[in-house]
Structure 1
Amino acid sequence: MKNIVIVGGGAGGLELATFLGNKLGRKQQANVVLIDRNQTHLWKPLLHEVATGVLDAETDAVSFRAHAHNHHFHFEQGAVTRIDRTNKYIELAPVYGLEGDMIVIARRIPYDYLVLAIGSKSNDFKTKGVAENCIFLDSPDQALRFQHRMLELFLKFAENNALSEIGEDESKQKLVEEGKVNIAIVGGGATGVELSAELFNAAQHLSSYGYGKIDPGHLKVTLIEAGGRLLPALPERISNSVQKELEELGVIVKTNTMITEATPNGLTTKDGQEISADLMVWAAGVRISSVTQQFDGLELNRINQIHIKNTLQTTVDDSIFAIGDCAFLLQSDGTPVPPRGQAANQMATLCGQNIVAMFDNKPLKDFTYRDKGSLVSLSKFTALGNITTGKKSSMTIEGRLARVAYISLYRLHQQKLHGCFKTGLIILIGRLNRFIRPSLKLY
């Protein structure tokens, strides 16, 4: 029985493992193995909701082990450290527990076909102080770290407010009058924009849960973008509309502003301006892990992406595929496939079909990226975006229709993982939880 190993349990990797498990693993035509450093999967575009407490990661996360059991594949926890193409195995680093003790030793996992879907991380461009003082939103753990820090700041604000109400001395009252929950976000892409809006939604909910009266004037959110406008992947009209909506909420938007340093107290711009902040998020740009340099001679570009052919196979080894953000493929117009979620989903679908075709001795299909448009959600306030209606035409949508389209993207992902019936039950349970659970995660 041949071994199919998939490294990376993001949206593309997990969808691929589910498809191949159901298609080949169930019939015992192949041993399908999914590898990830974490034990659970959460759809990455939802991390800004986890960061503000609007979404409970423990409720929506998918257990890799349980999902593997239900869909006829195996799961191995660990981080890949190198590939041996001659002997066809990958090496995994040991797994350590919370107390630092080794739980699982380093291992070698053999493969006949290998799919690399390791995704990307936030790129700090080696900016001084960012790694030490800013929070990235690449994983649920990082999102939860942000949420805990955010709740601490709001609690501090509430306590200061209480001091004012009970008549504390003038100096403390002055502190209250000037006090704000001060958050800075670097990066005007979808993550930064959606997090900015979600913070104001969270603030409204916190007012109902004992954090005192919080109005937009008590929350200072600064959104910083090095480029000339927010959301460069979207048409300029939509970008301008998004900026207007954010500014009406109270977000301070700074474009054409490059950050050169992050300190514990804020950010420094290229022109020397100081932007004070108690909590900072870095969501500017993406990078690929340098671990790809240990992948035994696979062709890489300057940012460590893996060169692939139109069939999604690597340029130097037909038994190895790469999909998603870590893959580099030039389109017919000479531009690379963008590192976007829809590209990873489309690659996962074709990769699964091509691997099945290899088992059936059928020709492989070439990948063609189809841009279906872009959507951005400004929390409960509104949603905007454009959807592709033809090869060279698109339609702008906003409001309720855009919100429904935005939510449907996640539902399609769930449907690929769980099927229509289970996804319907998940939706029903989610609606019931609105009446049972608090509207915001408070711990």
Structure 2
Amino acid sequence: MLSQITKSTASHNSRSLSRLFTDTDELTDDELIKQVNELKKQIKILTLENEIIERTIMRVEPSLMHGVQQALEYALKLQSNSSLNVGSFVRSQASRVGGLDSFNSPSRTLAFSSPSRISTRKFDTSSAKLGGTIIFGSGPRVNVIERSELVTVEMEILINNLENARMKAARKHALLKAEIEEIKLREADIDKASVMFNQEVIVGGWDKIAQRIPAEIWIRFMTEWVKICDSKIGKLRLRTSTLNTQYSKLNGQIRVKTELSESLRAVDFEKLKIENGESEKLIDYKMQQLIELKKMTGDANLTLTIHKKAMMDQNNYLSNIIKSIKTREKLIVELDKERDKIQVQADSLDLKLSEVKKVRLAYEVPDVMDYVKVKAEVADLKHSVKVLENRVHIYQIALASLNKQLMSLSSRANNG
């Protein structure tokens, strides 16, 4: 197939290009420019076709490419004599129109050779063979379906390569992003540590009297910093172990899925499709049951709400009754205490009443003259008490004056 493609492509290209140079003397300048533009387009198409065929050959059977370069060089040597007229005409037309420098290159001169000339050439099998097949000559042409298949295969391969490159670039980008984040975190930790060191050791630990930083402050800062680092390391180790566990778990899941994907067949998908259909039917049935259960649950919730409301009313009434019972029990206790107090007071009043009765029975009303004599004596005694109080006051005043005189005399005696 590849040999047929190679032969047909070369012969078809040479025949199509040779037709363009027939009757060139009868063409005008515009038609010649148009023909040159068509040649450029066709050369681009042929270049793409050649690249696709070369890639296909190198991918499917690279041994067919052995000797191709030597065959091309040999064909160029054979063509150099037969294409002098065509080359001179092309150079003359290129000088008139311009833009045909690409046709003068030795890699493109092969395309302008006549198929009859190429097919009539006889050359050795060692230089004109491509893996046992003749390169130049007539053969079956590559139809549109075969070209589309080749292009489709190459496009799929390019798309896969691009996807792989994109995945690699994404992984590398994620790795670089993670490294940048790690560098930022390290930079932030370093800045934080430097600020803390400046505040606690250089600024706060400076001894103005000794004009130095004591070693104790430096050691204390380092021990605290080591403790902080140990705690952070422990947290990072725990996080790393968690991530490693998750990574191993995900790797196991990917490996299981890969093994399952390798062992799956079309029958398994059909079986899975049937099981999914049965599961969907079961899910629909369960959903209908769930809807019915939701309806029953709604009715039960409504009934429960009604009974709950009635129960709450009963509970409120019961709580009010219990509160009233408790308040009445408290009132009963207080009334019992008041009753005991009143009973005690009543007993004491009964005793007083009995004593009063006794006193009243034994009491005799005195004579009025005796009462008058007693009042007169009391009045005399009060008068005598007032007189005595006045005398005591006078004596106190006299005593105070005598004390003052005595103190003045004693002070004079001391001075004298």
* Pair in the same fold by TM > 0.5: no
Which of structures 1 and 2 has the bigger CA Rg? Answer: 2
Q: Which is richer in strand?
A: 1
TM-score for both structures, normalised by structure 1: 0.18
TM-score for both structures, normalised by structure 2: 0.18
